[in-house]
Structure 1
């Protein structure tokens, strides 16, 4: 199907506007519709106050980096000083200043270690890992940029150097997957080798598993063993192995669970899966087919990537009123120049739109915005969510700019037939953002309490 000229112009205009909105924090101006919730939802704020930057994508990523301070993997003064040197909206300036800070903290760690101060070295290495990861974030416009692998590698090396100095038992693992392996970390609650409940934690669209360390430590505190991993499109798997994202994530989760149950220190009857950000689609997709999973956290819940886009187009009426998902995807697969030109024009004027499409093309190995969106529209739980059998927690933020009015989370919740809960976080105390970034204390308390109750963990 090739839309006529009028429909094409409508589609490109609306998609451009959609990206511009989704790139930053927005307010609904009204209370979200009533839904079953665990956490009471206060009236959401009208918008997100700027944090150093007025550029909303920069402000959000700064908040993300600051949130690592909760677990000692960033420091507020270092973050604010670095941000103050960055030119608004300039991704080269962003890379340069975060890399500079990371190098300085890494050097401080090396000096501490050489002097025999292992605790100071460990803490510096964890912070350096965070800052290198932040520096690399906006570099994906040129997949051949050598700084991507170089800076990511410095982040991983710093993280592993910190792990080597940490008292928590952690094993670097390779998970068999098709004709290769997936990288993972297995954190043990103690060194006894006793079978324990296992929490598998995975990231989403743009994360690396080293960023999941705070989640792992919270699990360890509560008596879980924790396994993190990276799959296609993520971390090492896209940067080194060049394996892009795939929508049928059950073919990823299956091997991960198979590896887990092969370990003698895992209680195979108590395996939980927690997916973060786009992991709120990936983990449910895996759980729909992998019934050895005993509990699922979709954080935040994602039902259908193309759902919001398609509905916005249909609301416009005219030539787009009867547009189907298949029509839109088929058109995008033709790699229409008018679509790509409109998106690239929007990318030139908005950091969030630029990042979304550049990272999307990077992790999907797509040559254009249209090719990226055509592939991303395959990420749907329609007719699949109903197959999830284990108790499921769907979370959302009241002002999550990636899921305004938590439409995606509600759609996933509505299609579940298993035992389920919907947990919506108010922004009254700053927890209403995407995946509760910047409010880990509230986030971990509520979500782990649900998980502990579901998994029968006490004490």
Structure 2
């Protein structure tokens, strides 16, 4: 495929942002123009150029709204929201960067301004969770009181509840599904504004969300779907292994085992020493990882990973990673489950292992580079993913409804 940026990570995140164009989150010309002004691996330029365009769109949205053009205003607000999210992406790391705080605040501001202009604006919610709450949005597919299937959306390492509208929410609403999107521990506002980091037992997060969803008007109690993408592709099936009120679960390009997925990127002889092998070799690995973390784009994932887990030592990340595993839990998942991987994505390379180990109704799809869908989470080809997954979901939920009636 033709590239707009030379650096692999910059290109991947550009495609991620641009991939939301079918759902109102981007414009090709704007994204291409931004890319043309960023050179090499200049992280400051990345932040500044995406922010500048987002700010310009915010101003244009304000002018359109003042002129009574709600459609143009909504479009500009939504694109501004996505671009502010993209601007802050590479500032993730510890200590918390003030630019990330600002970018996230402006992402939320513009998303909510745009969402308020939808035909059916979402309900901004706080979902009761332990001693606090989880921020999110409930989108209704229609205004009537009919019970409808509802998607509960789970994000990954660096996503936000607002981004979930573009990744899966808009597509679901178009097909008559309600949508509940939220930030869990380690994600979006929970991480940036409230300082709450990830936890491996995601069922402790999803069960309160399901409780909340079942109290919402219009939510069919037997047609709840949990859909996770990226790291959410681990979190969703992990939750489904305990939360059995779900009709279906979707794992979109998630890791089967976080340690295996992470350690596979390390030199083999050093990776074999984890977690508590030869002290000298572990010190050498620590030195190597510290050097990697200093690199602008090559070290970003590790800097981000430490932040979302509340860690400071890269070796501690690899010692913690085995807690995030589906090994031995697959047989606990009872609901119908859709598992997918992308041809060029090393994070989801072990998705077939998860699929084979499942003891429930299931489907596996590998998305291919020849179809433009070979990147992580089918970035740039979300419409193809949605065609596949909603055809499967419609079939599963129809079968479940028929069984419920016959029973």
Higher deviation after alignment, 188-197 or 367-376: 367-376
Moved more, 65-74 or 370-379: 370-379
**Does 1:295 find its partner at 2:248?**
yes
Uncovered stretches (5+) of structure 2, i.e. residues with no partner: 402-407
Provide the secondary structure at the position in 2 that maps to 1:168. Answer: coil
1:420 aligns with 2:373: no
1:234 alignment partner in structure 2 = 187
Task: Give the secondary structure class of the aligned counterpart of 1:286.
Answer: helix
Matches within 5 A, 1:265-284: 265-284=218-237
TM-superposed deviation, 1:312: 8.1
Matches within 5 A, 1:285-434: 285-308=238-261, 328-330=274-276, 337-349=283-295, 351=297, 353-403=298-348, 406=349, 408-434=350-376
The answer (yes or no) to whether the contact 1:170–1:186 under 8 Å persists in 2 is yes
Distance between the aligned counterparts of 1:310 and 1:419, measured in 2? Answer: 31
TM-superposed CA distance for 1:311, in Å, is: 6.9
Within a 5 Å distance, the mapping from 1:117-156 to structure 2 comes to: 117-156=69-108
Q: For 1:428 and 1:183, how far apart are their aligned partners in 2?
A: 38
Q: Which residue of 2 aligns with 1:264?
A: 217
The reply on whether 1:56 has 2:56 as its aligned counterpart is: no
CA RMSD of aligned residues (A): 2.3
Tell me how far 1:117 sits from its aligned partner. 1.8
Distance of 2:317 and 2:35 partners within structure 1 = 31
Secondary structure of 1:396's partner? strand
Instruction: Write the distance in 1 (CA, Å) between the matches of 2:331 and 2:289.
Output: 35
TM-score (norm 2): 0.92
Contact 1:95 1:136 in 2 (8 A): yes
Deviation digits for residues 401-451 of structure 1 (CA, Å, limit 9, x no counterpart): 433xx2x20121121111111111111120111111101221110111111
Matched-pair contact (CA < 8 Å) for 1:138–1:355: yes
Q: 1:116 aligns with which of 23, 43, 68?
A: 68
Q: Secondary structure at the match of 1:138?
A: helix
C-alpha spacing 1:113/1:80, structure 2 compared with 1 (3 Å): same
| CA-CA distance at 1:173 after TM superposition | 0.8
Distance in 2 between the 1:419 and 1:438 partners? 29
- Deviation per CA, 1:187-244, whole angstroms, max 9, x where unpaired? 1011123221111111111111111113112112222111111100000000111110
Cα distance, 1:149–1:311 mapped onto 2, change above 3 Å: closer
The structure whose RCO (Cα within 8 Å, separation 6+) is larger is: 1
CA gap of 1:144–1:301, structure 2 versus 1, over 3 A, is closer
Contact 1:291/1:389 (CA < 8 Å) preserved in 2? yes
The equivalent residue for 2:208 is 255
TM-score (norm 1): 0.82
Distance 1:200 1:60 in 2: 26
Structure 1 residues 180, 90: closer, same or farther in 2, change over 3 A? same
Alignment partners' CA distance in 2, 1:417 and 1:275: 19
Output the CA distance in 1 between the equivalents of 2:209 and 2:280. 35
Alpha carbons of structure 1 residues 332 and 95: separation in structure 2 relative to 1, 3 Å: farther
Once residues 267 and 375 of structure 2 are traced to their aligned partners in structure 1, the CA distance between those partners, rounded to angstroms, is 28
* Aligned with 1:443 (options 378, 385, 390): 385
State whether residues 66 and 79 of structure 1, in contact with CA within 8 Å, keep that contact through their aligned partners in structure 2. yes
CA distance in 2 between partners of 1:198 and 1:135 (Å)? 31
Q: Give 1:362 shift.
A: 1.2
Distance 1:303 1:62, change over 3 A: same
Give CA deviations for 1:328-384 in whole Å, capped at 9, x if unaligned: 234699996533321122234461x31111111111111121222322331101111
CA distance in 1, matches of 2:205, 2:244: 14
Displacement after TM superposition at 1:120 (Å): 1.1
Aligned residues: 399
Q: Which runs of 5+ in 1 are unaligned?
A: 1-48
Q: Secondary structure at the match of 1:392?
A: strand
Report which stretch shifted further, 188-197 or 337-346: 337-346
CA displacement 1:225-268 (0-9 Å, x = unmatched): 11111100000000111110001111011111111112232111
Is 1:244–2:185 an aligned residue pair? Answer: no
Aligned pairs for 1:190-229 within 5 A:
190-214=142-166, 215-229=168-182
Give how far 1:168 is off.
2.5
Q: Are 1:275 and 1:283, in contact at CA under 8 Å, matched by a contact in 2?
A: yes
